[in-house]
Every structure is written in C-alpha cells, then in structure tokens.
Structure 1
Amino acid sequence: DNKNLCGICGYAKSKLEERAERKRPRRLDSEIAGVVPRKSTGKLHKPPQVRAASENVTSSSPHTVTEKPRNRLRKQNEPPTLPHTSEPAVDLFILEYESYPTSSEPGKVLGVYSTLNSVTSGAFAHGAYTFSREGLLHSNEYLSLTGRIKLARTAVQRTGVRAFVPERSDSLHGESVRLDIPHPEPNERHKSEEKLIMRDAVFLAVRTGPQAASWIGVFADKSLAWGACLKDKAMCAVSGTLCDEARTIGDNNMPQITGRLIGSGHFTWMVDECVIDDSRPTPKQAVRDV
C-alpha cells in the first residue's frame, strides 16, 4: 500500500511540474541566456511653468506658459442703468363726495392723496366735522353739512389694456371737440406747453350714470385708464343695448365717450387726471364732477 501511495504522489508531482512549465512564459529569441532583460522606462519631462505676466520674468525655456492678463473691465459692455425716476405711491387714497339725499345725483371725486394724514386733512378741508355711524368702525366715512365724504384706499395699476388716446383738436370756443368729424391739426405750440408741465398725477377711469358715479380704477398712464373705460363700456353694452354713442375730448386733453343704455339712461366713460395731494382754495372749487 505504501508503494502504491508513493507512486500516486510521484505521478501527481510530475503532472504538476508539467503544468507549471506550460504556464511559464517562453523566453524571447532575442534574449541571451543568463542575462536579465533591462526594463525600458520613458523619460520624465519637466512640467510646464506658469508665471504671471505682471512679474515681467523672461525665460528661454520652450515649456514656459505665460498667463494672459485678467480682464478687469468685464462689465464695460453692459448698458448704463437709467436714473431713478420718481413714481406715484403704490397705494393712494381717494376722497369721494355724495350729496344729500343719497343716490339723487352722481358722486364727485374731491381728490387723490398719498397718505392717510393728507387724506384726513383733505376731508376736514372739504367740510367734514365728524364720523358717520358706519364710519366709526373703520374711520372711512365722514359727515358734512351737505353730504357724506368717503375714504377709499386703492393701488395704482401699471399694467393692463392700453388704448390709443387721440390728440385734442383746436376749438374756437374751448368746448369739447367731437372725434367723429374731421378737425384741423392741433397747434404745435400747445403740444410743447403740455410737455413742459410735469406733475405727479394719476389717471382715474370713471363711469358716470344718471344717479351714481363710480371710478373703475386708478392708473399711472392715460392710455391704461382709457383702455379700462373702453373695456367697461363693452361689458355694459353686452348686458344692454348701447346707442347714441359719441366720443369727445374734454378738458386737459382727456378722452370721454357718452352713450345711452336703453332702460337705464345716459352714461359717460371718461378719464380724469388727478394731481396727488392737490390743495384747493375752497371746498366748492374742490368739488369736481367725474
């Protein structure tokens, strides 16, 4: 048994040596026996040197890389910013007047104010002496000898539908000029005078009816206010029949349009220019139809 085991071990050892011999890499023909081949290594080059141009260093080495000067005027091509222009306040206060008896005639706008203190002073300047019963809670309605004075807070609208506002034509007597008939061209002198007048004002879009008047909104531009008037007129024409329509240019080159709603009476849509915090000498002169 021991002889058989030794024979098996010898046979396995010979097979293992043969397998190891087959896996051993073959020697190249160019190699000389007994000489260890030299490993070939690449030449390590010197890395390029980066030097700033501000150092003014000159080098003859071809590997030297010169950095471009930093562009410190990167924003020189940007458009210049426009100077800040003063704009009306975002929130304004409207002072309204409604005479006694209530709903007997259209209301009136007494003025537009920028702060609560200024609108309160304006209410007292127009004859307010105490709060009404409804105004005690919110302090938004006063009583005067001839009617009620109301305070309404609103925001100035700067976006919306814009409509073309025609220029005013000259009139011999200063009355409103109709736009549905031809007129001579306006005088250039009047245009130049209007451009010289720069006031901090807003434009009200107003609808006036037989018994009441309401302002549609407060706008920063006349074309926006006129577009709101035309939009409100179109909505009223959908709900009823509008006839006898006429467009005119009123005072201060403000457009207006009149028409009759069958069953409701005559209505007027107009643009009213209001100077912010404008002080009037007397309450009677301050009350203005809208």
Structure 2
Amino acid sequence: MRYCGIDVSAKPANQQLVTLHERRGADAQELVATFYEPGDVDAVARTVLGFGGEAVAAIDAPSGPRLDLLAAGLPLRMELGLPHGRYERMRVCDALLFRRRLPLYPVPSADQALSRWETWMAVGFELFAALDGLELFRPPAAGVHEAPVGDGALRLGRLCETYPDAVFCTLLGHRPSPKRTPWGLQQRIAALRLRGVVDDDGGLWHRTLDELDACAAAYAAYALAAGQGCWVGDAREGVIVLPTLGLAERYDRLPPPARSALSAPRRPPPSTR
C-alpha cells in the first residue's frame, strides 16, 4: 500500500508529493518515506495513479468550495452551537477546527471568484479532480459532523482532504511553535518519527518545510486506511481527515520560554536644591 501526501503550492510546478509504505523494522513496523521532486498537477497525479489500487491519498487543500451551510439563520448553526455572527463564511469542517484553535484559510463559496492569494486553492481543486478515480472519502453518517473513520473506511473513498498543521497538533496534543523556528521544526520531526515514519536519507532533517507538510498529509492517508483517524465536517461540502480517533476540545500553545528582563533605565539623582 502507498500512502500519498500532497502539499499544494500556488506555483504550478511546485506540488510536493511524499509517500509512505510499510516495512518491518528491527523493533516494530516502520513507515518508510519516499520524497519526490516537486512537479505539476499532471505529474503528481500520474505518479499517484501509477500505484493503482494500492494508492491512498490526502491533499493539503480544500476539496471543494464552501456551500454556505453555516449562513445566518440556518438550523445547522444551532445544532453545532455556533455563536451568533461567527463562522458564517466557513465550511463546517473549518469552523469545527477553528473553534478548537486550529485556524484555516477561509474557502470561497461556489459562486465566488478566487482572489489572487487563493490561487493555491484552485490548484488543489485541480488535484482533487485529477485524482477523482480514487473517489473522495465521504462518510455516510447523516446528522453527524465528526467521528472516527472506522474500519474499512477505504470503501467510502481513497482520497481525502487533510491539514498538516492540524495533523501535527493532533499528534503532539498541543500547538507546536512556528515551523520556521528550530523548536517548531524539531517538534514536527519528532512527531512523525515517534509514529514510525523513517527517512533513510537524513532522518527528515534534510527535508524542506513543504516536504514535511506533505509527509504529515501522507500520515493522514495512512490513518484513513488503518482506521486510526477521524473526520470532521459535512460530507456535502467535504470533510477533513486527521490522525486521531477523537479531537481535543482545544489545542493551545505551550507557555513561552523564560526570558529575563533588561535593565531598567537609570533615573537621575534627585535635585539637592
């Protein structure tokens, strides 16, 4: 089985693919990472589909536009306990993650043109269309908006949406430091390695941030296939798959490291006049 993760870029030739496959290690089962050179949508889709029925894929991008299921006055808002005036322009999956302190980019509605900064979403839509043969994972549960994927989830689709930042949060149990800081990078690499992900060429330390995000997406694909993940959202507009059986109520950052105060400015001596 090949568990494929794709990190989407607004640059057409910069789509990043990473795959995981299982290998029996000396002490336990390993998930061996294979990192591919960046390429365009067609090249990535051709590579994934080349694995045939062995491919399961997770993409770091929205699977479709917002359907305004949380617009003001709709009954789903009350069902989900959303406060008045908030989350009205979000997909259900985004709102349920956002209120857990897992913020996502807002997704435009179906009749709304994409702005320039949203170009990467259009690329994501292209990727989902190119991999449509895998069938998008859509849980059948009506009236349920988050649940474990369960055993045999692949019968409902071998392609899913995920969110690497939330993947790392669920693996760590808290929000890590920013990924461009040394500690944030180390936390993300440790989270993958502790789940058995191995990189035979440098132990993940030589990889780019895009490659690590794609690797996290591949781990979400593995969780879908292994029945070790959960989904959140509304199947009508798309759900997000994450590698945990249940989401925490919220994901906070750890307290910042201690820092000593600088010396206070000296005050002039009082006048003797």
Structure with the higher strand share, 1 or 2: 1
Using CA pairs under 8 Å that are at least 6 residues apart, name the structure with larger relative contact order, 1 or 2: 2
TM over 0.5, shorter chain: no
Per the shorter chain, which TM-score range? under 0.3
Structure with the higher helix share, 1 or 2: 2
Bigger Rg, structure 1 or 2: 1
Q: TM-score, normalised by structure 1?
A: 0.22
Q: TM-score, normalised by structure 2?
A: 0.23
